[in-house]
Amino acid sequence: MTILITGASTGIGVSFAEEYAKRKHNLVLVARSEDKLQALAKRLSDAHGIVAQVFAQDLSKPNGAEKVVRFCDEKNLEIDLLVNNAGFGMLGEFLSHDVARLEEMVTLNALTLMKLSRLFATKFAERKSGGIINVASTAAFQPVPNMAVYAATKAFVLSFSEAIAFELKDKGIRVMALCPGGTDTPFFDNAQYERSKLMIPLEKPEDVVKTCIEGYERGETVVVSGAMNKLMVNSSRFVPRSLVTAIAGSIFKK
């Protein structure tokens, strides 16, 4: 079994690579940083005797998805599971952000994820076998002022994943959306957010990944990691949406 992981150089992406390598699956690791990918590939190959290939690509740029597929085709790599993990967020009011940077976020978090899903699902359908794990977020369940575009992209990922999971199940393709809450990764540092403002403790990325894989193997379509995150997501359904938005905005106020 060969698994392709985007955003594989840090955080949850590294934990996906480590966990699947332990399970003796071959890997295709995709991210911007070739040095980090090469170091990770060597470490996992040496430790677990698997084949880990590397493709350095900035997926926030146009045609990144097509380049990933072309790499796999040129290497004659048959992907069995696609893990769309790459993404980033920015903290601050909508009008404070550079439009070009917002476009890169939408491209990476939503457009490239959709295109990779489409391109690999075509191959999976031909074989009547394959799977897709799309990393969304608990931010997908409500608007988040001060992270408006990020949360909107994750809402897209959640809705998109649920819809195509229904469409593709009869073609032998499993699709799942993973919705982590706050996780101990470089995400918050990159977004310039003080972790102490979060209402619940950060999860470990390896725990998020284990929860994800268990849910995927059970055939679940949406997995929210962490008991507190599940409680918050479910309780928000019984609270006025305006109040949920106000609370989220206060938590993520810069």
Q: Which residues are the active-site residues?
A: 150
Tokens of 165: 């999971």
Which ranges in 23-170 belong to alpha helices (H)?
34-48, 64-74, 99-106, 113-127, 148-168
- Are the C-beta atoms of residues 186 and 208 closer than 8 Å to each other? no
* CA pair distance 147, 152, nearest whole angstrom: 9
Burial of 210-249, coded b for 16+ CB within 10 Å and e otherwise, reads ebbbebbeeebbbbbbbeebeebbeebeeeeeeebeebbe
Say whether 114 sits in a helix, a strand or coil.
Answer: helix
Q: Which long-range contacts (CB under 8 A, 24 or more apart) does 35-39 make?
A: 36/9, 36/10, 37/8, 37/9
If you count them, how many residues does the chain have? Answer: 254
CB atoms within 10 A of CB 139: 23
221: CB partners within 8 A, 6+ apart: 161, 162, 165, 175, 176, 177
CA atoms within 13 A on the CB side of 85: 30
Tokens of 93: 């009011």
